[in-house]
Chains A and B, each alone.
Chain A
Amino acid sequence: MKQSNIPALEGPTCPLPIADRGQIVLGHGSGGQMTHDLVRDVFQSRLANPILNAANDAANIIDAPPGKRLVVSTDAHIVSPLFFAGGDIGRLAVCGTVNDVAMLGAEPRFLTATFILEEGFSIQELELIVDSFAEACREAGVELIAADTKVTEKGKSDKLFINTTGFGWADSNLQIGGEQAKPGDAVIISGPVGNHGIAVAEARGNLGFSSQVRSDIAPLNHLVKALLEAGLDVHVLRDPTRGGLATTLVEIARQSQVNIRLEEENIPIDKPVRKTCELLGLDPLYMANEGKLILILPGDQTDEALRLMHITRYGEAAKVIGQVLEPSKGQVWLQTPFGTTRVLEMLAGEMLPRIC
């Protein structure tokens, strides 16, 4: 076979900039061409809407309609690892903020987001996360109307942090809040508790075995809407995230200055969650949730509330778990199956597994 006469292009050549990298580099935060390319290819392609597409430095948002008021919430998401069974930081960043807005009885409409990226973070993983972010926005029915990306030097942040701010509208005359629980009210939980905390602990490699537990991350705004549209007299809505069901109920009891009694047997806990907690000495009542809500409303409306929740997504396993008792300093009592009573306190600090 004849040898080619073209000389091999070896030795010093002019170094062309590498346009397509597999990971975030500082240039992605320069504000120049690389930033524009990243925003266009990773974000705008997945999250297109007229407001975001206008690509201005700020977004005009539509005023709240007559009879409605604006509700705002903001939340930073720094979960490690970024992916876990049942979800990832993208879905979490949408649902966390959507749920906070919804817990005031508002209908979430718009989000803004800041993505803080660490130099060296995989663009492929970023794309998966933005896909999941976009999917969660569609499911919740909210639009991303302003977004920012920043890149830190390696080691100055951890892969990816996402801050989201949510805007929604609520009926001006709605009075929903942690201070509204009243004697005679029923306490309802929308489904089994503890799953998110176990799923994240497992993804961190903290369990040492597979629990088969998936995070419950979900947008709860449609469930809230169903309850409010039915005209139920909702007193409290709260999503028991960090600190779990027990800590959130203690907060509500103190805010409303009432005692709350729970029936331990009625609190739904999935078997793998219960078993994992027992093995590690953790308490499922203090494990985080990301797709559950506590509903407190007059005791005579529980049947209608449960009927509605059972036919609405993420409320299928709702149960009455307790009731609001007399005015007091605000304590939560747990009635055990043994007929004995104990007081639930707030989570003291990080949950620590016990020794033996």
Chain B
Amino acid sequence: MTDPTANLRDASLTKSILAEVRRITTQPWNIMEICGGQTHAIMQYGLDQLLPPEITLIHGPGCPVCVTSLQAIEQGLQIASRPDVIFTTFGDMLRVPGNQADLFTARSRGADVRVVYSPLDSLKIANANPDKQVVFFAIGFETTAPTIASTILTASRNGIKNFSILPANVLVPPAMHAILSNPANRVQGFLAAGHVCAVMGYHEYLPIAEQYQIPIVVTGFEPVDLATGLLVTVQQLEAGQHEVTNAYPRFVTREGNQVAQKIISQVFEPVDRQWRGIGTIPLSGLGLRPGYASFNALSRFELDQTPLYESPLCIAGKVLSGIAKPIDCPAFGKECTPARPLGAPMVSSEGACAAYYRYHRIPG
């Protein structure tokens, strides 16, 4: 079998697409890739080094670990520390700093924190440990929401009583509204996250492109995909257009995966949600619908209100909303490194600061 990704990583094809970007660019443009996976790929392959100097890439808030609120992390730490709880989470969350501790610290103090690859694994753990409460940290964008929703449906159908979630899922379109309506906004074009669109389709972006007069290009994650997405965005910017274009038709349709959307809306409803470093964005999160409210861990456990403390050195909020680059932060690479992160973007491989630290420090 041939490797289907092989020609999507073709160096000469990628370079020739980016050469075309250079050829048609006549003035400076700021383009935001929303998704942290795209930031990571751009840095890993060094594609930003191949762009003309006029093009500035702004790294968006699309890293689920980074935007999970400090309050949710503190709640997670409290729940995880209970002796009657097995706390399950995606691996990335373990190193995200709360006020003082992270989940690694909680684990070293005796908390039962387990990394799972799918929320469904939490149900297996719940079945194997009937005397424990199993709580899954439900983070992520529209991409993790369908499996989390179907996990809850399964738990509900099978009457699994010792499973719940700490709900922290967030949605992309409200964040785009928040960025574009900020007076300090510099973003002139978007690369929309391909896998979010694979679930949700791209019809949600049509009114955004219209309202803010901004091109939005659905883009994948391989070098050829990213180069193509950039080319289409620059073509539109140079021509003064503001369309939603699908540059990832291998996986994305206008309407998206309607089965997945139905499962999400069966279990969840939009709620206001806090984004770390950005603030509360109206209707930007997924909360449990009343029929599934019993699966909300926050209603199962009495939690203390802890005051929330963010490092004053960290400028994560500005980085996540595209106002500053990681290297603009005075703590970058000094007080703040992946080994000792002050803010969440330095933790996850999808975080802009971590991607910069790993891939972008200039040789010399």
Tell whether A pairs with B: yes
Interface residues of A (CB under 8 A from B): 206, 208, 259, 271, 280-281, 331, 333, 336-343, 345, 348-350, 352-356
Q: Please judge, given known A-B contacts A345-B358, A352-B95, A355-B140, whether A331 and B47 are in contact too, CB under 8 Å.
A: no
Report A-chain residues with C-beta under 8 Å of the C-beta of B309: none
Report A-chain residues with C-beta under 8 Å of the C-beta of B37: 354, 356
Q: Are the C-beta atoms of A337 and B11 separated by less than 8 Å?
A: yes
Q: Are the C-beta atoms of B94 and A352 separated by less than 8 Å?
A: yes
Q: Are the C-beta atoms of A354 and B338 separated by less than 8 Å?
A: no
- How far apart are the CA atoms of A126 and B54 in the complex, in Å? 65
B311-348 to A contact mask, C-beta < 8 Å, 1/0: 00000000000000000000000000111000000001
Q: A354 touches which one: B9, B50, B349, B364 (CB < 8 A)? A: B349
Q: Please judge, given known A-B contacts A342-B44, A348-B337, A348-B339, whether A354 and B359 are in contact too, CB under 8 Å.
A: no
Q: Are the C-beta atoms of A331 and B363 separated by less than 8 Å?
A: yes
- How far apart are the CA atoms of A331 and B363 in the complex, in Å? 8
Residue of A nearest to B360 (CB): A342
Q: Are the C-beta atoms of B92 and A352 separated by less than 8 Å?
A: yes
* Interface residue? B294 (CB, 8 A): no
- How far apart are the CA atoms of A281 and B65 in the complex, in Å? 14
Known: A354-B91, A356-B140. 6 other contacts (CB 8 A): A331-B363, A338-B45, A348-B338, A355-B64, A355-B350, A356-B37
Residue of A nearest to B35 (CB): A356
Report A-chain residues with C-beta under 8 Å of the C-beta of B115: 206, 352-353
* Interface residue? B46 (CB, 8 A): yes
Task: Quote the shortest CB–CB distance from A206 to chain B (angstroms).
Answer: 8
Interface residues of B (CB under 8 A from A): 3, 9, 11, 14-15, 37, 43-47, 49-50, 64-65, 90-92, 94-95, 104, 115, 117-118, 121, 139-141, 143-144, 195, 223, 337-339, 348-350, 357-364
Report B-chain residues with C-beta under 8 Å of the C-beta of A271: 3
- How far apart are the CA atoms of A355 and B359 in the complex, in Å? 19
Q: Are the C-beta atoms of A342 and B15 separated by less than 8 Å?
A: no
Q: A349 touches which one: B11, B46, B95, B141 (CB < 8 A)? A: B95
Q: Are the C-beta atoms of A355 and B144 separated by less than 8 Å?
A: yes
Report B-chain residues with C-beta under 8 Å of the C-beta of A348: 337-339
Residue of B nearest to A355 (CB): B90
Q: Please judge, given known A-B contacts A331-B363, A338-B47, A340-B45, whether A356 and B144 are in contact too, CB under 8 Å.
A: yes
Tell me what chain A mostly uses at the interface: helix, strand, loop, or mixed.
Answer: loop
Q: B223 touches which one: A208, A338, A356 (CB < 8 A)? A: A338
Residue of A nearest to B121 (CB): A208
Q: Are the C-beta atoms of B357 and A341 separated by less than 8 Å?
A: no
Report B-chain residues with C-beta under 8 Å of the C-beta of A352: 91-92, 94-95, 115, 349
Task: Quote the shortest CB–CB distance from A257 to chain B (angstroms).
Answer: 15
Task: Quote the shortest CB–CB distance from B201 to chain A (angstroms).
Answer: 17
- How far apart are the CA atoms of A340 and B361 in the complex, in Å? 12
Q: Are the C-beta atoms of A355 and B49 separated by less than 8 Å?
A: no
Q: Are the C-beta atoms of A336 and B349 separated by less than 8 Å?
A: no
10 closest cross-chain pairs (CB), A and B = A340-B46, A348-B338, A352-B91, A342-B359, A348-B339, A340-B49, A337-B11, A353-B91, A355-B90, A356-B143
- How far apart are the CA atoms of A336 and B45 in the complex, in Å? 6
Report A-chain residues with C-beta under 8 Å of the C-beta of B91: 352-354
- How far apart are the CA atoms of A68 and B337 in the complex, in Å? 44
Report A-chain residues with C-beta under 8 Å of the C-beta of B46: 336, 338, 340-342
Task: Quote the shortest CB–CB distance from A159 to chain B (angstroms).
Answer: 20
Residue of A nearest to B3 (CB): A271
Report B-chain residues with C-beta under 8 Å of the C-beta of A281: 349
Report B-chain residues with C-beta under 8 Å of the C-beta of A206: 115, 117
Residue of B nearest to A259 (CB): B363
Q: B49 touches which one: A333, A341, A349, A353 (CB < 8 A)? A: A341
For this complex, 12 residue pairs linking A to B, each with C-beta atoms less than 8 Å apart, are A281-B349, A336-B44, A338-B14, A339-B15, A341-B363, A343-B362, A348-B338, A349-B104, A349-B339, A352-B91, A354-B92, A355-B348
Residue of B nearest to A349 (CB): B339
- How far apart are the CA atoms of A341 and B46 in the complex, in Å? 7
Report A-chain residues with C-beta under 8 Å of the C-beta of B90: 353-355
Report A-chain residues with C-beta under 8 Å of the C-beta of B139: 355
Residue of B nearest to A351 (CB): B91
Q: Are the C-beta atoms of A208 and B363 separated by less than 8 Å?
A: no
- How far apart are the CA atoms of A337 and B358 in the complex, in Å? 18
Task: Quote the shortest CB–CB distance from B94 to chain A (angstroms).
Answer: 6
Q: Are the C-beta atoms of B43 and A356 separated by less than 8 Å?
A: no
Most buried by A among B64, B90, B359, B360: B359
